[in-house]
Amino acid sequence: MSSRSYTLALLCGGLAAVIWGSTYVVTTELLPPDRPLLASLARALPAGLLLLLWQRQLPQGHWWWRSALLGSLNIGLFFYCLFVAAYHLPGGVAALVMSCQPVLVMLFSVFLLHEKLRLRPVLAAGIASGGVALLVSVQGAALSLTGVVAGVLGAASMALGIVLSKKWPKPAHISLVTFTGWQLLAGGLLLLPLALYQESLPAQISLQNLAGYSYLCLIGAVLAYLLWFRALQRLPAVTLSFLTFTSPVSALLFGYLVLNQQLTLQQSLGAVAILLAIVLAQRPPAPGVPAADTSLTPLPKGKF
């Protein structure tokens, strides 16, 4: 992989994480309160249907259950935990709790991809944790146990989804749009019965609510996941996972720009530490040497 392609993959993954960071402002300011399942469903299911109507290609063979599992981990369970955390914690704190994901990706990679723990990402994780501590220590809000548990569970769900996506790479003859649509649809279908059983529709849905749901579906799901899965095809799992640290930083910046929240010196130092950790965790490919993992080798068409 050329350095230009590597940089483009980093930009795709980073932009996806920035978009996810905006989720917290949208959730608290535009959506009806206390309906995390409905918000998750409205984000995933319409996005999956739109992408599949565009490509009109269904999974075959073992990709039925693989797509269902990956969609549940990357989309269904992750979305639900994301919105529960957002409803029970301040936006920046919710994003920061879920930023333990890179550490979990490293651990899952050891067991599932048989990778060795490397000193550089471990040091980067330590620096990022210090940045997280600086950011959280000045929030001044009581932490909800429900929100913290949901955040950690969501991080673990997507971490496992990232690693399994490297273990089961997208078939070469299947488009990124189709692959993303499968997972969004699977995640949405998982959420559908839960949302219908546990939550009722709001008595009224305002234009503000519709704007929020539309943003989460079209930008937070369709665009962000197309960018994310594109980056996932080209970057190692651990390298990509560190880009999720961009999400809490962007959540705080959106809070500052949109909600007029104050950023202290401690928060600024924490954000700088996180950005330094992201840079430290990157492992650019050597010139002329492919950067792709062996897990990215396309499956023979007959195996699809």
Listed as ranges, residues in the chain with pLDDT below 70 are: 1, 91-92, 95-96, 135-143, 283-304
Does the residue 263 lie in any domain?
yes
Q: What is the reported pLDDT for 212? A: 92
Does the residue 297 lie in any domain?
no
Does the residue 276 lie in any domain?
yes
Does the residue 289 lie in any domain?
no
Does the residue 301 lie in any domain?
no
Residues of the domain holding 221: 3-284
- What digits encode the pLDDT tens for the residues 77-95? 988 887 788 778 775 677 6
Q: What is the reported pLDDT for 201? A: 77
Does the residue 241 lie in any domain?
yes
Q: What is the reported pLDDT for 297? A: 35
Q: What is the reported pLDDT for 58? A: 85
- Tally of structural domains, the chain: 1
Q: Are 131 and 271 spatial neighbours (Cβ–Cβ below 8 Å)?
A: yes
Nearest to 124 by CA among 141, 110, 103, 142: 103
Q: What is the reported pLDDT for 25? A: 85
Q: What is the reported pLDDT for 91? A: 57
Does the residue 291 lie in any domain?
no
Does the residue 296 lie in any domain?
no
Q: What is the reported pLDDT for 284? A: 59
